[in-house]
């Protein structure tokens, strides 16, 4: 391809509204164009990068034995009603009615395809002999995004690879899951991404049944907990905390003292008012679980984790109590709850760190009043002590004796053991070897293809622009004659370009009649892995210049044999990615 015959609208300035490197660079390098908030056109370079990511995903899916299909994006609303997901998705589901002759047909644009694929399988799979099978597609998904931002990282329309496995047993599902997990590792490694597979909330199957694939990035919207020493990694919802020790607020227990705290309802207000630190306070939260209200205690500087609380309380449902319930249970308005002297006898759940607290400050279950000198065990009983809070940097690792760190990350993939939720709802059953009718056991596996591109750019760039690995680069090589008006330079560039293209290299010829400086700036901005520069001075000595995007200095190579040498370099780099990989910061 020639630069003058394609569409690469590069920009010098940072576009308005773009905050993070991937968004800025995708716009500036002419990869994407915003059509409206949350929707983008992929321009030629963006489309090429996306194609490459898609192809890597497809190859690795095929290698696992998964079978590609393409489901419709338009789906009947009835399918979503059968699984209760019209409510579950709420405004995220893009639905509408269209007129067909004299009736209105309600439909939705697929935000995901569990319903459609399960319905399909229910119709065609009826025997254990037809499984295991994994079906996948690469298709545009639609989810109404209330606050689209960060370029293609958070949009209402995105390209996704979604796969669904169908098995006869939980053991067999385990094998399907492992295959997908391994394929995901290969995909992200081939894309040149530094990723972490982190434990995630597991849903109905429980145990080690869900992982998210994350790219560690400063601007990532997900929080993960990572231990550098043993490799433990989990998302914030799931991350466990190792054994606690009582290092804080040592001292002799004092008498309880009631103090007035007019209008101070938050941890910050109370700590300012009483001149105590948040870590010296007990935060008392009232939740409503399946069997009624429970009190949950965490240290003032900690955040409660609802998933952990739900598990500890063995509850299906859990929600923060409304003000009326809080008033009834504690005898005080919101903001003054405490474990001492609750009006109603309700179970008290405490995070492990609370057990070690001495002379804590808590709400007094009276308006505008707190208590000082509160001691667990002496002043109130804990019915259940467990890990109930979010982990944070410096917490003990749950797997080794080290400390964990909180990192920000971009989620690019998710593998999940679904169980029978959809097969039960949509009646996807099979006859087992004993002629018993049983629900099919499912897994689902997603990859955000756009996020592969954005995640790569977010973590692989410098002040000049994007740094692509050969695997994803829109073009592997850019050939740039310094001066197209100089006939020998132009002709040499044309010859090299033609020969590289004939050798199967993705090459772009920068045939624009612009200053060399502009070509170099654009080449760095777009980030082609290898730049080949042809100038009249070098040509006179029988030499041309090549430079890897991630290396400081160019090198001169003989014109004679240059095409074979360049093609070899690119083929080696395609196979190993070894030249690109080391320049990336480690996770
Ligand atoms: Zn560890």
Q: What is the pLDDT of residues 219-276, one digit of tens each?
A: 999 999 999 999 999 999 999 999 998 755 567 899 999 999 999 999 999 999 999 9
CA distance 85 to 79: 9
Q: What average pLDDT does the structure give for the chain?
A: 95
Residue 213 Cα, ligand 1 centroid: separation in angstroms? 19
Pairing of strands 369-374, 348-351: unpaired
pLDDT score of 584 more than 60: no
Centre of ligand 1 to C-alpha 401, Å, is 6
How far apart, in whole angstroms, are the C-alpha atoms of residue 428 and residue 518?
Answer: 60
**Rounded distance from Cα 371 to ligand 1 centre (Å):** 38
d(CA 465, CA 237): 34
Q: What's the CA-to-centroid distance between 232 and ligand 1, angstroms?
A: 5
pLDDT band at 201; cut points 50, 70, 90: confident
User: Is residue 339 helix, strand or coil?
Assistant: coil
Dihedral angle at the C-alpha atoms of 123, 127, 129, 132, nearest 10 degrees?
A: 60
Q: What is the Å distance from ligand 1's center to 226 Cα?
A: 8
- Give 165 Cα–ligand 1 centroid separation in angstroms: 32
SS3 9: coil
Asked if 443 and 415 touch (Cβ cutoff 8 Å), the reply is yes
Q: Which residue has the tokens 């994350």?
A: 214
d(CA 198, ligand 1 centre) in Å: 13
CA of 242 to the centre of ligand 1 (A): 9
Tell me the CA–centroid distance for residue 202 and ligand 1, in Å: 21
Residue 104 CB-half CA count within 13 A: 5
Q: What is the pLDDT of residue 209?
A: 86
Residue 582 DSSP symbol: G
Rounded distance from Cα 246 to ligand 1 centre (Å): 20
Q: Can you give the pLDDT at residue 195?
A: 95
What is the tens place of the pLDDT at every residue in 84-130?
999 999 999 999 999 999 999 999 999 999 999 999 999 999 999 99
Q: How far is the CA of 396 from the centre of ligand 1 (A)?
A: 8
Q: How far is the CA of 231 from the centre of ligand 1 (A)?
A: 6
DSSP character string of 475-539: -SEEEEES-TTSHHHHHHHHHHHHHHHHTT--EEE----S-HHHHHHHHHHHT-SEEEEE-HHHH
- Calculate the dihedral angle through the C-alpha atoms of 469, 471, 473, 478, rounding to the nearest 10 degrees: 90
Give backbone dihedrals phi and psi of 358, rounded to 5 degrees, phi first.
-125, 135
Cα separation, 336 vs 371, whole angstroms: 10
């Amino acid at each position: 391809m020639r630069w003058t015959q394609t569409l690469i609208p590069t920009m010098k300035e940072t576009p308005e509204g773009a905050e993070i490197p991937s968004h800025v660079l995708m716009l500036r390098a002419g990869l994407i164009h915003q059509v409206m908030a949350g929707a983008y056109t992929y321009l030629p370079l963006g489309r090429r990068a996306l194609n490459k990511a898609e192809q890597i995903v497809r190859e690795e899916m095929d290698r696992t034995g998964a079978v590609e299909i393409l489901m419709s994006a338009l789906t009947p609303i009835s399918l979503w009603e059968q699984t209760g997901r019209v409510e579950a998705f709420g405004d995220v589901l893009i639905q509408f009615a269209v007129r067909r002759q004299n009736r209105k047909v309600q439909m939705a644009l697929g935000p995901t395809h569990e319903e459609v694929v399960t319905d399909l399988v229910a119709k065609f799979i009826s025997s254990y002999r037809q499984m295991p099978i994994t079906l996948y597609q690469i298709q545009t998904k639609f989810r109404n995004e209330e606050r689209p931002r960060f370029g293609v990282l958070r949009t209402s329309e995105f390209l996704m690879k979604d796969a669904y496995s169908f098995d006869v047993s939980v053991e067999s599902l385990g094998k399907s899951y492992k295959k997908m997990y391994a394929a995901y590792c290969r995909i992200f490694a081939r894309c040149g991404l530094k990723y972490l597979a982190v434990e995630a909330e597991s849903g109905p199957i429980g145990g080690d049944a869900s992982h998210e694939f994350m790219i560690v990035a400063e601007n990532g919207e997900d929080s993960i907990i990572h231990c550098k020493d043993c490799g433990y990694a989990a998302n914030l919802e799931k991350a466990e905390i190792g054994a606690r020790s009582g290092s804080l607020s040592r001292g002799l227990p004092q008498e309880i003292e009631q103090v007035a705290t007019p209008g101070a309802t938050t941890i910050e207000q109370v700590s300012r008012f009483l001149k105590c630190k948040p870590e010296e306070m007990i935060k008392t939260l009232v939740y409503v679980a399946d069997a009624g209200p429970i009190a949950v205690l965490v240290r003032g500087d900690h955040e409660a984790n609802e998933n952990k609380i739900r598990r500890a309380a063995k509850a299906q449902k859990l929600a923060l109590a409304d003000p009326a319930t809080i008033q009834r249970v504690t005898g005080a308005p919101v903001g003054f709850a405490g474990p001492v002297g609750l009006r109603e006898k309700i179970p008290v759940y405490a995070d492990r760190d609370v057990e070690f607290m001495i002379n804590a400050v808590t709400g007094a279950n009276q308006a505008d009043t707190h208590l000082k000198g509160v001691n667990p065990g002496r002043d109130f009983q804990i019915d259940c002590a467990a890990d109930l809070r979010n982990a944070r940097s410096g917490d003990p690792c749950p797997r080794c004796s080290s400390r964990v760190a909180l990192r920000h990350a971009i989620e690019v993939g998710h593998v999940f053991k679904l169980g029978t939720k959809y097969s039960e709802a949509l009646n996807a059953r099979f006859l087992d070897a004993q002629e018993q009718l049983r629900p099919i056991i499912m897994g689902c596996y997603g990859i955000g293809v756009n996020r592969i591109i954005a995640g790569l750019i977010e973590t692989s760039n410098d002040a000049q622009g994007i740094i692509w690995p050969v695997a994803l680069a829109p073009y592997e090589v850019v050939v740039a004659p310094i001066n197209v008006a100089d006939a020998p330079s132009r002709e040499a560039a044309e010859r090299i370009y033609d020969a590289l293209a004939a050798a199967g290299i993705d090459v772009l010829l920068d045939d624009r009649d612009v200053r060399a400086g502009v070509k170099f700036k654009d080449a760095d901005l777009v980030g082609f892995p290898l730049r080949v520069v042809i100038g009249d001075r070098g040509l006179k000595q029988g030499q041309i210049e090549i430079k890897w995007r991630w290396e400081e200095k160019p090198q001169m190579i003989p014109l004679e044999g240059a095409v074979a040498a360049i093609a070899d370099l690119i083929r080696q780099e395609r196979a190993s990615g070894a030249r690109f990989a080391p320049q990336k910061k480690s996770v």
